[in-house]
Amino acid sequence: MKLPGAERAARVGLTDAEYVRIVELVGREPGDLELDLFGVMWSEHCSYKTSRPLLSLFPTTGAAVLQGPGENAGIVDIGDGLAVVMKVESHNHPSAVEPYQGAATGSGGIIRDIFTMGARPIAMLDSLRFGDLGETRQRSLFRGVVKGIGDYDNCMGIPTVAGEVGFDDSYAGNCLVNAMCVGIIRHGDIKRGAATGVGNPVILVGATTGRDGMGGASFASVDLTAASQERKSAVQVGDPFLEKLLLEACLELFRTDAVVGIQDLGAAGLTSASCETAARGGVGIDLDVALVPRREDGMVPAEVMISESQERMLVIARQGREEEVQCIFDKWGLNAAVIGRVTDDGMLTIRNGDVVVGLVPAKALAEQAPLRHPEAVRPAWQDDLLDLDVTRLPQQDDWTGTLTVLLGTLTIASKEWVYRQYDSVVRTNTVIGPGSDAAVLRVDGTDHGIALTIDGSGRMCLLDPATGAAMAVAEAARNLVCSGAKPLALTDCLNFGNPEKPEVFWQFSQAVMGMSDACRKLGIPVIGGNVSFYNETGASAIMPTPVVGMVGVVEDLANICRQGFGEPGSVVVLLGANTDELGGSEYVRLATGRTAGRVPLLDLEREKEVQDLCLTGIRRGLIRSAHDVSDGGLSVTLAESCISGQTGADLSLPAGIRPDALLFGEAPSRIVVTVGAGDLQALVDAAVEMGVPIAVLGTTGGALLNIDVSGKSLVRAPVVDLAAAWSDSLPQVMSV
Amino acid sequence: MRFAVAVFPGSNCDIDAYRALHDVLGRDVEYLWHRETDLSGFDGVILPGGFSYGDYLRPGAIARFAPLMEAVVRFAGRGGMVLGICNGFQLLTEAGLLPGALLRNRDLTFLCDTVPVRVENADTVFTRCCQAGQVLRLPIAHSDGNYAVDAATLAVMEQQGQVILRYCAPDGTVDEQHNPNGSVANIAGIINGQGNVAGMMPHPERAAEELLGGADGLFILQSMVQELERRQHEASRC
């Protein structure tokens, strides 16, 4: 039996069954405006109806966790009465349509998520993916996204301290733009997005409301098509200056005690901010759209409710303190309009002047979207991907040439072209900026620091979603450890295709299980995150790409490490063991044009031991530099350490492994460190005690990188030549 | 000795300047909101970097009309020391306190880096702690740092030693290859004819601690502090 409302449901992107549920929850057929609200709030983007059941697998608690998932951002204790607030979020769909504004508003949205918790934003990170930069369209997307991020973050005065960029054809139709913001806060100053106190005023502050970003949440919940390019009205327009004022005004407001709850207006705009704050507080909100300051004439109530105009916040203030709030926003030249009151009926009541135009339970909108449990089926083509006979890889003898080519591969090459466009040092706390394994920031007024990194997995995750996703967690933690930090917590952004396809949902469920496993074994809780589905164009989905943002604590800023080899004469030591695995490597892609093979084994216990040894060595002041083995394998790691340290090295690798796997295999759980000759024994002793295999590879110095195996030189090249290949590649491509 | 750090809507290196002067050099510093009109009691003024008024129109074009700037113009007219850094430099040229203008960078992109700059004139109140020809490593971070000025004015500036900093190679060689933004004559910093107002695109306040990668900026900030101490000392003798 077809329901009369089924077509109406389809119009707002909902199913028949969801419509039936709406009728039950509301107790009648919803009006058009009410249905619009359900359309955006029950979209995948806002409701997580497909991903939520699986996300509950993540470990989300721990002694240091002050706020787990469910709020605008997660919060973790870093000692000294201080805490880090962080979250990563995708802005993939808008960026694919309008790269500059899409990326800029991605920054704007995530920054608001952080200061809405009461925190001062102190760092930005980004994880980006594009197609082949040989194509004009991809270069234009890349250039636009980088400029969008730079213009927004730079103007905000928040340093962009780290990031990563990868390239693969699967992202050609769906670039990935994941932005992460990190803030710092005193424990007692944490604000939450809950409305409480019947009669308290609901105040909309910041920018005016217009028709930009209409239905952005629904837009993000379907595949991108040719028609999407016409949907530029679904992309918001950012104004970082206005957001800077909003940030300072809000932080000034928080120094009073006039605020009981606050939430930024992101996806689904006023609708989500009002129903979510009401639902969290167990109250209702009664608001009048006629009181909303607008930038356009003729907007109907539904447009006001779902507009995603940027740089707005919803403040629930204490009754009688309205003038005080007004006064602060006046000072910063911003609007502050009382648009409603907190009520005790649990309803979101929407008026247009005297007329009630919408009346629905706030909880129904915010929390009661029916969960979906799509089918997960391992793709039939998965075995084809794994099929790789490494013994049949092309034989070769020019290992130096291959290393040089790999160094110039865009995924591996220097990203200085990108990060030179970002102010990475504003606020003068950046101790280690972009271009090392992790960024390190000083924590104001202490000797401590925090380390930050963002790492995504694409290739490995395509071949084995569970292991690949676990590798992203392991690598992020390893990067932090290489800087001298103990990993503390993570935030994730899970970028996948259309979950209604069983193959994609299999990838997603595998990845979540793999990540959960890694988080548990490494002892790192997930304190928040974001899921981005429907990253598809036509028939092709992106490689499954879980992205992990992680924070760690540096006990003493005197003991930190960079990736570049330090003083000449340092001893180069490999922590962990090489393997003969080549699957999924950049090298295989270079040699065969395929992302293929079985991914290397990830032994999380070994991983933890290697990380513990590295951290111990750094904290004891033994280790002078540390760089983990990842894209491109051991030889790329060694070359990068030479390039960053502007020194050569004369090295000899343990024999017994095929040369291609030894040089270019991407087995995890390996870190290349340097120590002073006098400290070598102490490091060896520590390794023995902790049961970690290590190998002395040689010493730094000179102008050449030389790598011997069994007395034969496989790689021998001036570091300046390797540096040129690594540094010039991206600028050259972008100068076309 | 009291420093004022101006705060315009959109300033964001105000905190950098405050920290370098207060936390590192232990000086009295106060933030001054753009609506303030009174600089009495202050001995030095820092116009900080950032994006005052969002750089709408062009950098510094709106901030120049802030009430505080009227006070800064009077303060400079009385011989008060004013240092404009980055957006502050742009603002000083817009306000007519310094000659020339800052155009969009040659490569049209924002540029964040740490670069060598050569001290061209060490006989100024902003560079007194430096040696002539000394190479400082200072951070830059800007979109509009391409200094431009007409040839006649430039000739006068060069002759009077008003060019105080130039972008250069690590060994001090000044050439086009080491000109990050296209500035005429590699100019990174200048002073006015009276010698009490300076503007520079590099950020000395961001180079005040070795932990953060270098402390060469202190040569500039200490020069200001020394001059203000000298003035205080003279005043107390009168």
**CA distance to partner chain A, nearest, from residue B22 (Å):** 13
The number of angstroms, rounded, from the C-alpha of A268 to the middle of its chain's C-alpha atoms is: 21
- Predicted confidence (pLDDT) at residue A218 exceeds the cutoff of 90: no
d(CA A114, CA A269): 17
Q: Which of A147, A155, A422 sits opposite B112 (nearest CB)?
A: A422
Q: What are phi and psi of A641, to 5 degrees?
A: -65, -35
Q: How far is CA B156 from CA B47, B117, B153, B161, in A?
A: 25, 21, 5, 9
Q: Which residues contact A50 (CB under 8 A, 6 or more apart)?
A: A44, A371, A372, A374, A499, A505, A533
Q: Are A443 and A80 in contact (CB under 8 A)?
A: yes
Portion 327-356 of A in contact with B at CB < 8 A = 332-333
The arithmetic mean of pLDDT across residues A66-86, rounded, is 95
- Which residue in the set A240, A426, A430 is minimally distant from B13, CB to CB? A426
A512-549 residue pLDDT tens: 999 999 999 999 999 999 999 999 987 788 999 999 99
Alpha-carbon distance B109 to B104, whole Å? 8
Distance CA A648, CA A721 (A): 11
The CATH number covering residue B201 comes to 3.40.50.880
Q: Which pLDDT belongs to residue A226?
A: 57
Q: Which of B9, B211, B213 sits opposite A245 (nearest CB)?
A: B9
- Give me the catalytic one of B34, B142, B178, B203: B203
- Is the pLDDT score of A227 beyond 80? no
What is chain B's mean pLDDT, rounded?
97
* pLDDT at residue A221, as a whole number: 64
Tokens of A648: 């050569």
Shortest CA gap B88–chain A (Å) = 14
Burial (CB < 10 A; 0-12, 13-18, 19+), residue A285, is buried
Domains contained in chain B, number: 1
Are B51 and A150 in contact (CB < 8 Å)?
Answer: no
Strand, helix or coil at A623? Answer: strand
Give the model's pLDDT for residue A212.
79
Residue type, A703: A
Q: Which residues contact A453 (CB under 8 A, 6 or more apart)?
A: A125, A162, A437, A438, A439, A476, A479, A480, A549, A550
Sorting pLDDT into bands at 50, 70 and 90, what band is A1?
A: very low
Residue A128 in tokens: 């980006």
Reported as a pLDDT band with limits 50, 70 and 90, residue A651 is very high
Q: Is the pLDDT of residue A641 over 70?
A: yes
| A335-343 sheet: strands from edge to edge | A259-264, A312-317, A201-206, A335-343, A284-288, A347-352, A355-361
Q: Please state, in angstroms and rounded to a whole number, the distance separating the CA atoms of residues A532 and A552.
A: 25
Quick check: A529 and A87 in contact, CB under 8 A? Answer: yes
Interatomic CA distance for residues B78 and A346, integer angstroms: 64
Which DSSP string do the residues of A112-179 spell out, in sequence order? HHHHTTTPEEEEEEEEEEES-TTSHHHHHHHHHHHHHHHHHHHHHT--EEEEEEEE-GGGSSS-EEEE
B206:A428 CB<8 A: yes
- Burial (0-12, 13-18, 19+ Cβ within 10 Å), A449: buried
Residue A70: what pLDDT?
Answer: 86
Distance CA A618, CA B150 (A): 55
**A294 in B contact zone (CB under 8 Å):** no
What is the least distance, in Å, from the CA of A427 to any CA of chain B? 5
Ordered by where they begin, the domains of chain A are 64-190+414-559 (3.30.1330.10), 193-369 (3.90.650.10), 561-736 (3.90.650.10)
Residues of A in contact with B139 (CB under 8 A): 425
Q: Nearest C-alpha of chain A: how many angstroms from B203?
A: 10
B interface mutation test: which of A428, A442, A447, A554 has the most B CBs within 10 A? A428
Place of tokens 């950046």: A430
What residues in A contact B211, CB-CB < 8 Å?
A: 431, 442, 557
Chain B residues with at least one Cβ partner in A under 8 Å = 9-10, 12-13, 15-16, 19-20, 49-51, 53-56, 109-113, 139, 141, 143, 205-206, 208-209, 211-213
Cα torsion for A47, A48, A52, A55, to the nearest 10°? -140
DSSP string, A709-725: ETTEEEEEEEHHHHHHH
Query: In sequence order, what E strands does A16-81 have?
Result: 65-67, 74-79
In Å, how far is A586's CA from the nearest CA of chain B? 30
- Contact call for residues A498 and A220 (beta carbons, < 8 A): no
**Buried residues in A404-413 as b, exposed as e (16+ CB within 10 A):** bbbbbbbbbb
Q: Which residues in B lie closer than 8 A to residue A484 (C-beta atoms)?
A: none
Give how far B222 is from chain A: nearest CA, Å: 18
* Residue A503: φ, ψ to 5°: -65, -45
- Within an 8 Å CB–CB cutoff, is residue A124 touching chain B? no
What pLDDT sits at residue A720?
Answer: 98
- For A301-353, write each residue's pLDDT tens digit: 999 999 999 999 999 999 999 999 999 999 999 999 999 999 999 999 999 99
Work out the number of other CB atoms within 10 angstroms of the CB of residue B71: 21
Per residue in A429-484, pLDDT (tens digit) is: 999 999 999 999 999 989 899 999 999 989 999 999 999 999 999 999 999 999 99
Contacts of A427 in chain B (CB under 8 A): 12, 15-16
Average model confidence (pLDDT) across chain A:
94
Residue A654 pLDDT > 50: yes
Q: Which of A211, A210, A207, A238 is nearest to A95 (CA)?
A: A238
Taking every pair of C-alpha atoms in chain B, what is the biggest distance, in angstroms? 53
Count of CB contacts below 8 A, A vs B? Answer: 88
Phi, psi (degrees; rounded to nearest 5) at A382: -60, -40
CA A627 from centroid of its chain's CA atoms:
21
Reduce the DSSP state of residue B157 to 3 states and report it.
Answer: helix
**Do residues B105 and B111 make contact, with C-beta atoms less than 8 angstroms apart?**
yes
pLDDT in tens, A380-400: 999 999 999 988 888 788 999
Q: Is A441 on the interface with B (CB under 8 A)?
A: no
The closest CB to that of A420, out of B51, B112, B209, belongs to B112
pLDDT computed for residue A230 by the predictor = 59
| Three-state DSSP state, A74 | strand
Q: A430 and chain B: CB distance < 8 Å anywhere?
A: yes
Tokens 């040659």, residue?
B106
Tell me if chain B has a CB within 8 Å of the CB of A361.
Answer: no
Do B9 and A241 lie within an 8 Å CB cutoff?
Answer: yes
pLDDT tens digit sequence for B113-143:
999 999 999 999 999 999 999 999 999 999 9
Question: Is residue A627 annotated as a catalytic residue, yes or no?
Answer: no
Residue A187 annotated to the active site: no
Distance from the Cα of B104 to chain A's closest Cα (Å) equals 14
Of A195, A365, A191, A192, the closest CA to residue A278 belongs to A195
Q: Which residues in chain A are contacts of B141 at CB distance < 8 A?
A: 154, 423, 425-426
Residues 6 or more apart from A391 whose CB is under 8 A from it? Answer: none
Q: Which residue in A has a C-alpha nearest to residue B9's C-alpha?
A: A245
Pick from A223-232, B13-22, B106-115: least confident: A223-232
Give the closest-approach CA distance of A419 to chain B in angstroms: 8
At B148-164, the pLDDT tens digits run 999 999 999 999 999 99
What is the distance between the alpha carbons of residues A55 and A546, in angstroms, rounded to a whole number?
A: 13
Q: Which residues of B touch A332 (CB under 8 A)?
A: 9
Chain A environment of B206 (Cβ under 8 Å): 425-426, 428
Residue B15: which of A155, A419, A427 has the nearest Cβ?
A427
- Mean per-residue pLDDT, A206-215: 84
User: Which range of residues forms the domain containing residue B26?
Assistant: 2-237
CA-CA distance, A34 to A151, in Å (whole number)?
37
Mutate which of A158, A251, A252, A423 to test chain B, going by most B C-beta atoms within 10 A?
Answer: A423
Q: Which residues of A touch B16 (CB under 8 A)?
A: 426-428
Put simply, the chain A residues between 209 and 248 with a CB less than 8 A from any chain B CB are 239-242, 244-245
- Tell me: pLDDT of B177 over 80: yes
* Residues 509-568 in A contacting B (C-alpha not used; CB under 8 Å): 557
